[in-house]
Chain A
Amino acid sequence: MSELLNLSLTEARDALKAKKITSVELTEAYIGAMEEGKGLNAFITETPEKAREMAKASDAKLAKGEGGAMEGLPIGMKDLFCTKGVLTTAASHILDGFKPEYESTVSQNLWDAGAVMLGKLNLDEFAMGSANITSYYGNVENPWRRSGGGNQKLVPGGSSGGSAAAVSGRLAIAATGTDTGGSIRQPASFCGIVGMKPTYGRCSRWGIVAFASSLDQAGPITRNVQDAALMLGAMAGHDPKDSTSANLAVPDFEAALTGDVRGMKIGIPKEYRMDGMPEEIDALWKRGAEMLKDAGAEIVDISLPHTKYALPTYYIIAPAEASSNLARYDGVRYGLREEGGSLIEMYENTRAAGFGDEVKRRVLIGTYVLSAGYYDAYYLKAQKVRALLKKDFDDAYGQVDAILTPTAPSAAFAIGENQDDPIKMYLNDVFTVPASLAGIPGISVPVGLSEDGLPLGLQLLGKPFDEETVLKVGHVLEQAAGFDAKPAFLAGSK
């Protein structure tokens, strides 16, 4: 059992192709792991029967020497992806009972590649959060524990907290995530695994419950960089149903992992060295730069002068788009309806009952910044600063091939911490948000442990549509770091 769970995505792929294992065996192991890991609350909906059927079908293909790139591999799907006939909630009460009549492009791409669905993973409500504590379906628990810190429950990060916890605790061999301001990279860092946000437009947004349309991007959450390369290849591709999808061929991302970064220029942006940043984060960052230098890359000091304005920009643009994207949840066509004496009362009751506090806050902020008389001061201003932030990166990529930064300003914190003040929570995304606003690809790779024994990741950013460089450098960093610490909870380890 644990043998099977030890296999990474690419190892399992190879073992399946070599007929050393079957998908049914692998899938059964993960169905058992989901059972064992129920305490993490990583899944909102488990679909073991569907998984068994899909695994059987995969085995039939594999037996004939057929099958796609992800054939027979049991993955978890963030519950923001619409899945045909399977409850899709966005972790919100307002989508109560919603079973889509359609399949998102990214999930369809994965099924077409042969992947097996274990279930729908928990997240922050409508992907709004950095700790997975805003889900209507309850908090997700990080499989990691602080060393010597008792048994305090930690957050997995967010919003793809269920995905990160599941992959880290081995309840799924890999999982999908979505990243709007860091929702793949930050939880990956908190859970000691790899999370990649590709370039905006690389993966289709069709069928993903929208949070902030100009920022949302799907990506893989995996145990290592090679797994990320494999899974991203299966998820990505041009989709004519998404006007923002890039009409570009999908490269062979695994082939980019040459291990050779000699002569490449890696930028270290000075603005990411922020006041009050824990010393251990700074030290980890320096160590990461050393590793890349030892591998033959050139480390270059660069400047991204508008970095400090990324978070305030993000907290105007994302809520503004969200306030509009979430207007469709009105109790008329699907999901929750709370009756009222009039249409307006029905709307107000439904949305009051259906949305949680953080979603309400963001919808209201977004409504306010777009409202008459405030548009120019907030939204328009933010879009101008966003243009400057993007230009910062464009300029930097004139000098360097990739940029190295910390992923998050801290390790995972306890459930309940940072909860008194929304701003404190927002600061979690301080290093991930700039790349989201610029639409560029980024990956978080686990590099070391905090003093408390919790995983810490470093982030590599690349040029638009140059995921290959991001993956290549990430892979070298991963090899050099040799991160092999294990969380307190690991399915199949007992």
Chain B
Amino acid sequence: MSLDKATVARIAHLARIRTDDAQLDALVGDLNNILGFVEQLNEVNTDNVEPLASVTGHGLPMRKDEVTDGAYPERVLANAPERAHGYYAVPKVVE
């Protein structure tokens, strides 16, 4: 598989990274290079192989249903680039 410029532009938009034309040209080369490299995996026979879910070897630990966290809006908002009336503020979203 090989990526063209339009696909890279679509992927960049999906990843929300603004890219100009020159950057797109460079990325097309780099990404195709990397994809070419990883496509070696096609040589490996993986019929009947279950994908690895985790290396930990233990099950999913669960916690009790207790309120143990939160109630510190100041800590939550402390690093916000912009805030107003206890909310995070962002450019207006039109639905």
Contacts and interface: CB of A to CB of B under 8 A. Distances in A.
B60 interface: yes
Nearest to B63: A240
Contacts of B61: 240, 243, 247
B79 A330 contact: no
A16 B44 CA distance: 55
A351 B81 CA distance: 14
B84 interface: no
Interface residues of B, number: 53
Interface in A243-260: 243-244, 246-247
A385 B16 contact: no
Contacts of B7: 368
Contact of A348 (B3, B16, B40, B55): B16
Contact of B90 (A332, A335, A387): A332
Contact of B75 (A101, A311, A381, A464): A101
Nearest to B46: A384
A333 B1 CA distance: 37
A422 interface: yes
A277 interface: no
Given A246-B58, A367-B15, A342 B88 contact: no
Contacts of A360: 17, 27
B93 interface: yes
B78 A312 contact: no
B38 A378 contact: yes
Interface string A183-197: 000000000000000
Given A101-B78, A361-B34, A423-B34, A306 B51 contact: no
Interface string B70-95: 00100110111110000010111100
Contact of B91 (A341, A363, A382): A341
Given A214-B54, A315-B37, A335-B79, A387 B12 contact: no
Contact of B27 (A345, A361, A371, A380): A361
A30 interface: no
Given A341-B91, A345-B91, A422-B33, A364 B12 contact: yes
Given A343-B91, A385-B44, A438-B55, A348 B18 contact: yes
Nearest to A377: B1
B17 A200 contact: no
A162 interface: no
Interface string B19-44: 10000000100110111011111111
Q: Which of A341, A368, A426 has the most CB of B within 10 A?
A: A368
Contacts of A384: 44, 46, 49-52
A438 B56 CA distance: 10
Contact of A352 (B11, B18, B81): B18
A333 B56 contact: no
A364 B15 contact: yes
A133 B79 CA distance: 28
B44 A421 contact: no
12 contacts: A97-B79, A101-B75, A246-B58, A315-B37, A332-B81, A334-B80, A334-B81, A343-B93, A349-B18, A361-B30, A371-B11, A385-B41
Interface of A: 97-99, 101, 200-201, 214, 240, 243-244, 246-247, 306, 308-309, 311-313, 315-316, 323, 330-337, 339-349, 351-352, 355, 360-361, 363-365, 367-369, 371, 374, 377-378, 380-388, 390, 421-423, 426, 438-439, 464
Q: Which 7 A-B pairs have the closest CB atoms?
A: A439-B55, A383-B51, A334-B79, A337-B81, A348-B18, A352-B18, A384-B46
